[in-house]
Every structure is written in structure tokens, then in C-alpha cells.
């Protein structure tokens, strides 16, 4: 694919005129904790003072409703000129997911164009209002959803989530190369499940290997945003619908994720300042609570 297939910036910017930055959280394969990273980064950015939206772009396997403890349906706003859905809110962020609109036990059996159409509607038919960041939790892979987003949405950039092992890194590299080919800036790499600290001894175990995410970032000249360790409390937070950065803000893991969120914000600011085609919008994050 060449850059001629990508919509113009002016056309794409009309879709989200009140959103300053749009960020895709992506991975080449499933099972690397991409949604966990997206949820916790969104909440961390909100806790630091930013206005944040989170769009669950994983049409076939939406997990955001469970991970944010929401079991409601969005309301509809009607006026003489338009009719839009209002995103649901929790933990200081605005949220939209296909999971709010279908039964949580029903599979979404749609062909690619239908899924891509649903993603477009979540952008054009949802009243996101003013946001500093709109984060897209992407499905794994490099298929229709990813291409639809790249071609129609004014993406500020993408973050690639990987684990240290070779099979994950191989697929993460494919996702990274896809964004490069469609001219989406790479904001950074996050290495999830990076290591495990035994609670009884304090020993560190590199269960999935070590250094893979940093190596990938170095080889592709992409910023390395940080490492998130394996910790059962991160998983528990997702299962009970209370992200660890909100539930246990003083934990080491929450502090690591909050620092990654700040690193991401810095890369967004650098990208905007250096860009000749986008307004120079700098967002200053506080220390949160």
C-alpha cells in the first residue's frame, strides 16, 4: 500500500474536530495484554489531568466493558440537526464499545466491511466532545479494522504493545511496519509481561525472555515507553472492572504505568511540535492524585 490510498488530513480532521490527539494502541497478535495497557493508560492520563476518551475498536472481541466495569447502553442525543450516541463514562474517561450494544454472550459474526463500518460509526456518530486524547484499543493483527482506522481517522500516532518473547516480537514488528507503510507515526513500544517479581523472595524472573521490546524499539528507531511487569493484581483489576492505576495507585505497577502514560504524552507533544501538518498542541500533565 502506498500513501496515495490514505485520506487527506483536512478530510480526516473534519471527523473529530474537537479531539486534539488520536492514539492507536495496537499489537501484532492477541494475548499480549493490549487492552489492559490501553485501559490503564487511558485512566492514568485522565488521573494526570487530561480529558480522555477510549474507543474499543476490537469489534469481534470487545473487552473494554468488562475491564471498566460497565454494563449499560449508551443514550441517544437528538437535535434538529443530528442524532448521536453519548459515550458512557467511568474512572474519568469517556468510553464506547460494540460490547455496549450487543449481548455479552453473543458473537459478532460480521464480515470485514461491516466491522469497519461499525468503527466508522463509533467515530462519526458518537458525541466525543472536546478531548485531549482519544485512544483506540485495536484488535490484534493488520486487517480491515486497522486499515479503516488508518485511512479515515486523523491518527496522531500508534503505540505497539508486545511481550519479550520472539513470537510476540515477530508479530509486533509486522504491526509496526504496517503503521509505517500507511504513514502513521510511531509513538512508542510498550513491553508488557516484562518480568515477574516473586512476592516472597523479591527475586526477578524473566518468564518470557528479556530485552525484546527495547531491542525492537532500538532497531526501528521507535521510542521505548517502558516495561510493565507480570502481577496478578493487574489481571484482577481487569476482571473486576477497576484498573490497577485507579484501584491501587500507590502500587509499583500503577506507578510504572503512570510513568509510561507520561512518556507517551511527551512523545505526542514532540510529534505535534515537529509536525508541519498538524497544529502544535502541547498538553501538560500533572502528577495526578
User: Of the spans 76-80, 260-264, 278-282, which averages the highest pLDDT?
Assistant: 260-264
Q: Cell 508541519 sits at which residue?
A: 276
Q: Please, are residues 150 and 118 in contact by the beta-carbon 8 Å criterion?
A: no
What pLDDT, on the 0 to 100 scale, is given for residue 3?
A: 35
What pLDDT, on the 0 to 100 scale, is given for residue 231?
A: 95
Residue 50's pLDDT band, with cuts at 50, 70 and 90, is very high
pTM: 0.87
Q: Which residues, including other chains, have CB under 8 Å from residue 44's CB and lie 6 or more apart? A: 245, 254, 257, 258, 260, 261, 288
Q: What is the mean pLDDT of the chain?
A: 86
Residue 148's pLDDT band, with cuts at 50, 70 and 90, is confident
Round to the nearest angstrom and report the end-to-end CA distance of the chain. 45
Q: Please, are residues 144 and 115 in contact by the beta-carbon 8 Å criterion?
A: yes
- Return d(Cα 222, Cα 70) in angstroms, integer: 34
Alpha helices in 3-33 (DSSP H): 9-13
- Return d(Cα 243, Cα 240) in angstroms, integer: 8
Q: How many CA within 13 A on the CB side of residue 162?
A: 28
Tell me which H or E stretch contains 27. Answer: none
178 vs 260 pLDDT, higher one? 260
Q: Give the residue from 274, 272, 184, 176 showing the smallest Cα distance to 224.
A: 176
Alpha helices in 159-219 (DSSP H): 166-181, 212-219
CATH fold group of domain 15-274: Rossmann fold (3.40.50)
Q: Where are the domains of the chain?
A: 15-274
Give me the mean pLDDT over the 18-34 stretch.
91
Measured CA to CA in angstroms, residue 31 lies from 28, 56, 161, 233 at distances of 10, 16, 10, 17
CB contact burial 162-195 (16+ within 10 A = b; e otherwise): bbbbeebbebbbebbebbeebebbbbbbbbbbbb
138: DSSP letter: P
Q: Please, are residues 93 and 53 in contact by the beta-carbon 8 Å criterion?
A: yes
Which pLDDT tens digit goes with each residue over 264-288? 999 999 999 887 554 445 555 666 6
Q: Give the residue from 166, 149, 222, 157 showing the smallest Cα distance to 190.
A: 222
Q: Which residues, including other chains, have CB under 8 Å from residue 166's CB and lie 6 or more apart? A: 209, 212
Question: In this structure, are strands 157-162 and 186-191 parallel, antiparallel, or unpaired?
Answer: parallel
Q: Give the residue from 213, 217, 204, 205 showing the smallest Cα distance to 33.
A: 213
- Return d(Cα 284, Cα 224) in angstroms, integer: 20
Q: Cell 492507536 sits at which residue?
A: 24
Give me the mean pLDDT over the 71-80 stretch.
84
Three-state DSSP class for residue 200: coil
Q: Please, are residues 272 and 279 in contact by the beta-carbon 8 Å criterion?
A: yes
Amino acid at each position: 500500500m502506498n500513501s496515495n490510498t490514505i485520506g487527506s488530513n483536512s478530510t480526516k480532521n473534519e471527523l473529530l474536530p474537537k479531539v486534539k490527539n488520536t492514539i492507536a494502541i495496537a499489537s501484532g497478535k492477541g494475548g499480549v495484554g493490549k487492552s489492559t495497557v490501553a485501559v490503564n493508560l487511558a485512566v492514568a492520563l485522565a488521573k494526570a489531568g487530561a480529558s480522555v476518551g477510549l474507543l474499543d475498536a476490537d469489534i469481534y472481541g470487545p473487552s473494554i466493558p468488562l475491564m471498566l466495569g460497565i454494563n449499560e447502553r449508551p443514550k441517544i442525543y437528538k437535535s434538529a440537526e443530528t442524532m448521536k450516541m453519548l459515550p458512557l463514562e467511568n474512572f474519568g474517561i469517556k468510553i464506547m464499545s460494540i460490547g455496549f450494544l450487543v449481548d455479552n454472550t453473543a458473537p459478532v459474526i460480521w464480515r470485514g466491511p461491516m466491522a469497519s463500518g461499525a468503527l466508522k460509526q463509533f467515530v462519526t456518530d458518537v458525541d466525543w466532545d472536546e478531548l485531549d486524547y482519544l485512544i483506540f484499543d485495536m484488535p490484534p493483527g493488520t486487517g480491515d479494522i486497522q486499515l479503516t482506522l488508518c485511512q479515515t481517522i486523523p491518527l496522531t500516532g500508534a503505540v505497539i504493545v508486545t511481550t519479550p518473547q520472539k513470537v510476540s516480537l515477530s508479530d509486533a514488528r509486522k504491526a509496526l511496519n504496517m503503521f509505517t507503510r500507511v504513514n502513521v507515526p510511531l509513538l512508542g513500544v510498550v513491553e508488557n509481561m516484562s518480568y515477574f517479581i516473586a512476592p516472597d523472595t523479591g527475586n526477578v524472573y524473566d518468564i518470557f525472555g528479556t530485552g525484546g521490546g527495547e531491542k525492537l524499539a532500538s532497531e526501528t528507531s521507535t521510542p521505548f515507553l517502558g516495561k510493565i511487569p507480570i502481577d496478578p493484581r493487574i489481571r484482577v483489576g481487569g476482571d473486576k472492572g477497576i484498573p490497577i492505576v485507579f484501584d491501587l495507585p500507590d502500587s509499583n505497577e500503577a506507578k510504572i504505568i503512570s510513568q509510561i502514560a507520561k512518556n507517551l504524552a511527551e512523545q505526542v507533544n514532540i510529534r505535534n511540535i515537529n509536525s508541519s501538518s498538524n497544529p502544535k498542541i502541547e498538553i501538560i500533565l500533572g502528577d495526578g492524585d
